[in-house]
C-alpha cells in the first residue's frame, strides 16, 4: 500500500514538473529528466528486470551514486558563494572516489555498498544543515518558508536521507542475517521517505508559478 502511494506520488511529481517547467528555477529543471528515469527504474524493478546474479544491489549502488551527485548539486546551488561551492565539490569528488573503491574493491558490485551509501547520506545531510543555518541567519521577514521552494526541497531531502541512513545502517547486520524485523523496515522506511520527498517536491514545483506571478505583479 505504501509503495503504491509512493509510485503514484512519483508520477504526480513528474506531471507537476512538466506543468510548471517553464517557471522552475534552472537548478530544479533537471527533475524533468530525473523523475521519468526513476519511474522507468521502478517499473523495471517491479518486473524483476534489474535482477542480475540474483540481486539488484548493483542497480541500487549506481542509482544512489547518481542521486548523491544530483542532490549535492541541488543543495549546493542554494548558496551563491563560489568558494563554498568549490569546497563542496572537492569533498563530493572524494566521496565519489571512495564510493567507487567500495563498489569495486571492498563490498563489491553485487552487494549493497552500505559504507559508501552511509557516507554519501551523511555528507548530504551536512549540506542540508549548513543550508538551514544560512537560511535562518539571513532570514527575511517576508520570507514564508512553506512557500519557499529551496526550503521545501531541502526538507524533503532531509527526511529522505535521514530515513535512508537509518535503513542502510541496519542493512548489513540485519538483512544478510535474515532478520525478520528487517522485512518490516524494508517495507516501511524506503516507501515512506520517498513519499515524503515526492510530496515536498510537488509543493516546491507548485510554488514557482506563484513566485513568478507575484514578481510580475510587483512590477506594476
In the chain, % helix, strand, coil (3-state, to 5) comes to 80, 0, 20
Give me the pLDDT at residue 178, please: 58
Residue 55 φ/ψ, nearest 5 degrees: -155, 155
Q: What is the DSSP string of 150-181?
A: HHHHHHHHHHHHHHHHHHHHHHHHHTTTT-HH
| Residue 74: partners with Cβ closer than 8 Å, 6 or more residues away | 27, 28, 153, 157
| CA-to-CA dists, residue 86 to 46, 92, 209, angstroms | 39, 10, 31
* Tens of pLDDT, residue by residue, the chain (220 residues): 788 999 999 999 999 999 999 999 999 999 999 999 999 999 999 999 999 998 899 999 999 999 999 999 999 999 999 999 999 999 999 999 999 999 999 999 999 899 999 999 999 999 999 999 999 887 766 778 889 999 999 999 999 999 888 878 776 655 555 555 656 666 687 889 999 999 999 999 999 998 866 654 444 4
Amino acid at each position: 500500500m505504501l509503495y503504491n502511494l509512493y509510485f503514484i506520488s512519483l508520477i504526480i511529481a513528474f506531471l507537476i514538473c512538466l506543468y510548471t517547467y517553464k517557471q522552475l528555477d534552472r537548478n530544479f529543471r533537471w527533475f524533468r529528466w530525473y523523475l521519468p528515469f526513476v519511474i522507468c527504474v521502478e517499473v523495471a524493478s517491479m518486473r524483476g528486470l534489474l535482477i542480475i546474479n540474483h540481486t539488484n544491489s548493483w542497480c541500487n549502488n549506481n542509482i544512489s551514486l547518481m542521486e548523491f551527485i544530483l542532490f549535492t548539486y541541488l543543495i549546493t546551488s542554494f548558496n551563491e558563494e563560489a568558494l563554498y561551492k568549490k569546497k563542496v565539490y572537492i569533498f563530493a569528488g572524494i566521496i565519489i572516489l571512495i564510493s567507487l573503491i567500495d563498489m569495486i574493491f571492498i563490498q563489491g558490485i553485487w552487494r549493497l555498498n552500505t559504507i559508501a551509501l552511509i557516507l554519501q547520506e551523511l555528507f548530504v545531510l551536512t549540506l542540508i544543515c549548513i543550508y538551514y543555518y544560512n537560511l535562518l541567519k539571513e532570514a527575511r521577514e517576508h520570507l514564508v518558508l512553506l512557500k519557499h521552494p529551496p526550503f521545501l526541497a531541502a526538507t524533503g531531502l532531509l527526511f529522505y536521507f535521514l530515513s535512508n541512513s537509518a535503513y542502510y545502517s541496519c542493512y548489513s547486520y540485519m538483512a544478510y542475517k535474515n532478520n525478520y524485523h528487517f522485512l518490516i523496515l524494508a517495507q516501511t522506511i524506503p516507501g515512506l521517505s520517498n513519499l515524503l520527498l515526492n510530496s515536498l517536491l510537488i509543493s516546491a514545483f507548485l510554488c514557482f508559478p506563484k513566485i513568478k506571478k507575484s514578481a510580475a505583479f510587483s512590477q506594476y
